[in-house]
Amino acid sequence: MTSSLQTPREMQKVQVALATRPYEVLIGNHLLPIVGEYSRSVITPCRCAVITDDNVAPLHSGVLMESLKRAGFDPHLVVIPSGEQSKSMLSASDLCDRLIGLGIDRKGAIFSLGGGVIGDLAGFVASVFYRGIPVIQIPTTVVSQIDSSVGGKTGVNSHLGKNLIGSFHQPLLVIADTATLSSLPERIFREGLAEAIKHGVIADATLLAMLPPESNQDLTPLIARNVAIKATIVEADEFETKGMRALLNFGHTIGHAVESVAGYGVLSHGEAVAIGMIAALDLSVRLAGLPSVQADQVRETIRTCELPEKLPESLSTESLLAALQRDKKFDRGAVRFVLTAQLGSAMVSDRVTTQDITQAIDRLRS
């Protein structure tokens, strides 16, 4: 960073210290107007695309486009339909054609403005367009600010499964403007808190005391703490080969099964993960020695964040077990389950049996 940059008060910086190329995550209130200035410190101004969706474009793209123009960039707005169905090879291919049509080439760059869907899709396109061009992530949901924009995992869905096609493509810079979160629908805001609770459980129990945030509170410290946790895990295991990144699956094994059996869209991802975390806490108490009082504390946080704790009546144990068998976290039939023995830490266990899981699912109804 050059010293001439204006640093807004209260802005926090988190380094993602990767050996190949470190980058910064900037977190603060009202950062969109200075994206151009900060981007210019990591990339030469160029013809570039701002990829966003049709919900975010009318709310936040104007300020970003102006900021990029002021800094000497030649930005072109590319808007795609919002929603998970846009995370497909078809959209990726269509986006590549649109970028070529706009005259963007290997000297260009992509700015991804939106939630995790836009971040994953735009990051994926950046990784293959002209064999890879820079991407700057500007996440606008809680999930994307605390999780998906950091770490370089990009990708799209196959009709046979989510996130099965992708690449690792680290961003040059991530700018999380917490002011953008104020336009989020309440339910989408709250589901993001499930991932923050997960971070608290696996890495930093004191984070739980910051949840839920008060309305109108400056979210910068909360987002920054979460980004720091994600950054530490990514630094330790950039390519998900060493087991550390697997800890981010706490609550996700049963959570994914609940999400898919309920039918995508019925329960949001975060809501299903909240239910999955209740089961994972139960298993942690019974199999890993987690003190019950600590499990109760997390359950209370899930409750105060207004996330669900109980399984919807319509989901049978059999259908959930069948979904678990199809999950990629089942390695040739053996479950690799993330448990916590002490809040603020986690481990992968292969000692969780189908019977244990069946009991944990049944207890989600009581």
Ligand X SMILES: NC(=O)c1ccc[n+]([C@@H]2O[C@H](COP(=O)([O-])OP(=O)(O)OC[C@H]3O[C@@H](n4cnc5c(N)ncnc54)[C@H](O)[C@@H]3O)[C@@H](O)[C@H]2O)c1
- Contact residues for ligand X (CB under 6 A)? 53, 55-56, 59, 82, 84, 87, 114-118, 120, 140-141, 143-144, 147-148, 151, 153, 163, 180, 183-184, 188
Of 137, 121, 112, 27, nearest to 83 (Cα)?
Answer: 121
CA–CA separation, 219 and 190 (whole Å):
13
Please, which residue, 158 or 316, has the CB nearer to ligand X? 158
CA–CA separation, 358 and 68 (whole Å):
53
Please, which residue, 25 or 357, has the CB nearer to ligand X? 25
> Closest distance between ligand X and the C-beta of residue 185, in Å?
6
Look up residue 89 and give its amino acid. Answer: M
Please, which residue, 127 or 180, has the CB nearer to ligand X? 180
DSSP 228-296: HHHHHHHHH-TTS-SSTGGGGGTTHHHHHHHHHHH-BTTB-HHHHHHHHHHHHHHHIIIII---HHHHH
Please, which residue, 141 or 220, has the CB nearer to ligand X? 141
Please, which residue, 56 or 360, has the CB nearer to ligand X? 56
Q: Which residue is nearest to ligand X (CB)?
A: 116
Please, which residue, 141 or 284, has the CB nearer to ligand X? 141
DSSP 157-224: EETTEEEEEEEE---SEEEEEGGGGGGS-HHHHHHHHHHHHHHHHHH-GGGGGG-SPPTT---HHHHH
Cis peptide before 212 (omega within 30 of 0): yes
| Tokens 């995550």 -> residue | 25
> How far apart, in Å, are the Cα atoms of 109 and each of 51, 96, 153, 160?
11, 12, 18, 31
> Closest distance between ligand X and the C-beta of residue 342, in Å?
25
> Closest distance between ligand X and the C-beta of residue 177, in Å?
9
> Closest distance between ligand X and the C-beta of residue 227, in Å?
12
